Amino acid sequence: MGNKRFENSSSLVVTKKDFAAAVLRYRIHRSEGHTRDLIILMRILARNILEVAGVPKYAPEERELVYAAMERVQAYDKKKGVCFNYFTTIMLNHWRKVYRARKEAQRLKDKYDPFF
């Protein structure tokens, strides 16, 4: 289970074990290289989440999901569950929040724009 593979359309493969190791390296060292490695893995995860939702490639939402997850790296605790699942949940919850906010903004625009 720890070595389950996750692929995106560009055939990059990420395992849960690789993901957890990258988070641990980032938390310990915080070097530019470790930051870059973790962001690459986070981008693959974000891209996979958005692909399932039918969002076009290279949408700004991908960056937003990575930003939200990177902000919570230090808060991760092994007691909270599997690292990969923890960050997937963070990204999903952030994307739902952004989607609801945009949907509500569009509803208000549609309702009141005719009066401008």
Of the candidates 38, 61, 36, the one whose C-alpha atom is nearest the C-alpha of residue 48 is 61
CA–CA separation, 7 vs 77, rounded Å?
25
pLDDT band at 1 (very low <50, low <70, confident <90, very high): very low
Q: Rounded to two decimals, what is the model's pTM? A: 0.79
DSSP helix/strand/coil, 15: strand
Residue 19 phi, psi (nearest 5): -65, -45
Yes or no: say if 65 and 50 are a contact pair by the CB < 8 Å rule: yes
The H-assigned helical ranges of the chain are 16-29, 32-53, 60-70, 83-112
- Residue range 15-57, pLDDT digits in tens: 899 999 999 999 998 899 999 999 999 999 999 888 888 888 7
Q: Residue 7: its pLDDT value, please? A: 52
The domain total for the chain is 1
Q: Residue 12: its pLDDT value, please? A: 64
Q: Residue 43: its pLDDT value, please? A: 93
| Across 81-100, average pLDDT | 92
Q: Where in the sequence is the domain holding 64, given as residue range(s)? A: 5-115
